[in-house]
Amino acid sequence: MKRWVVLALAAFLALPLAAQSVRGRLEGRIPSAAIPAVDSLIQFASQEGLPTDPLIQKALEGGAKHVPGPRIVAAVQVSLGQLRDARDLLVRAGDQPPVLPAEMTTVAWALRRGLAAPLVERVVAALARPPRAAAMHAVADLVAHRFDPDSAAQLIIEAVHDGVPRERLLEVSTAALQQVQRGHTRAEAFAIVRGQLPNLPASARPPRGNVAGARRLASPAPP
């Protein structure tokens, strides 16, 4: 029997077991009336090659907050649409299908945090996979603090290309925030930080509330 036939058969046989596993994670944790619809959406995601764990977690989060079943189903459906959009964006940006689940999760996170799709696509197209999640987090951090989105993306892309490791990309955004604290405009802050790359001095994060409109964002799901 050809190898692809064996793999297809194995995948087909695994579907009922996967469905049972998902239902087992949902039972007793979300309203029972919502389980069939949520399970169906998760199976659609699995068949399309989309990551299913974010959908399960979204349902469980709703259950933990005692959200009514119809709203949980609606939230999972929205998340499924976001994952589809993330996959399509990654393909447009040059990723070859099948797109990695971690990449879809990262892009969906960025879109949920309000980054415009063209901006996310620009970052994705400019960077290899390993630093994307950290880069997206740094860009989102700057945008949340009212920096120009395009300039924020350009700064972080330049930081990566200049050799700043991904674990220090959030320090780039922090350095820009600190320059604003010192009285510089946001454009001046970018110019100063850009001049310090790639050997950006380590610095403490600014105290909460020191920058107008400051709001740190939650980290994306691990890539």
pLDDT tens-digit series, residues 111-149: 998 899 999 999 999 998 889 999 999 999 999 999 999
Residue among 119, 121, 116 at smallest CA distance from 103: 121
| Cβ neighbours of residue 46 closer than 8 Å, sequence gap 6 or more | 15, 18, 52
Task: Report pLDDT digits (tens) over 3-22.
Answer: 443 333 444 444 454 556 78
Q: Look up the pTM and report it.
A: 0.73
Task: Report pLDDT digits (tens) over 19-41.
Answer: 567 888 899 899 999 999 999 99
